[in-house]
Amino acid sequence: MAKAVAVAVLVALLLVAAAGAGGAAAQQCDASGLAVCAPAIIGGAAPTGGCCTSLRAQQGCFCQYARNPAYSSYINSPGARGLLTACGIAIPRC
């Protein structure tokens, strides 16, 4: 249970930090796709190539995630912002 919560938190952080465009279709936005970034968000590990690829693929969803109360605190966290920077993704303004 704690691991699932940690993954959800990591996904939320990544999404908020990478929030770029806010107009992606709902069916394209799947926060679970960011679970690959959990070690970087939660544990401070360096992001993997797969993590950065997942973040780039979901950039259009970041503002949507940032407006979601379940994810907003993670998206705006320093860890999420650092992850975006490490992946070379601009920090969005929603």
Neighbouring residues of 62: CB distance < 8 A, sequence distance ≥ 6: 15, 16, 17, 18, 19, 20, 21, 22, 75, 92, 94
Q: Tell the burial category of 68 from Cβ atoms under 10 Å away from its Cβ (0-12, 13-18, 19+).
A: middle
Amino acid (one-letter) located at 21: A
The count of other CB atoms within 10 Å of the CB of residue 24 is: 16
- E strands, 1-94, where? none
Query: Does the pLDDT value for residue 3 go beyond 80?
Result: no
Q: What is the pLDDT of residue 91?
A: 87
Q: What is the pLDDT of residue 9?
A: 41
Query: Does the pLDDT value for residue 86 go beyond 90?
Result: yes
pLDDT above 70 covers a percentage of the chain that reads: 71
The mean per-residue pLDDT over the stretch 5-28 comes to: 43
Task: Give 84 or 15, the one with higher predicted confidence.
Answer: 84
Neighbouring residues of 39: CB distance < 8 A, sequence distance ≥ 6: 10, 45, 48
The count of other CB atoms within 10 Å of the CB of residue 78 is: 9
The string of pLDDT tens digits covering residues 42-72 is 888 899 999 999 999 999 998 998 899 988 8
In the chain, domain spans: 2-86
Q: What is the pLDDT of residue 88?
A: 96
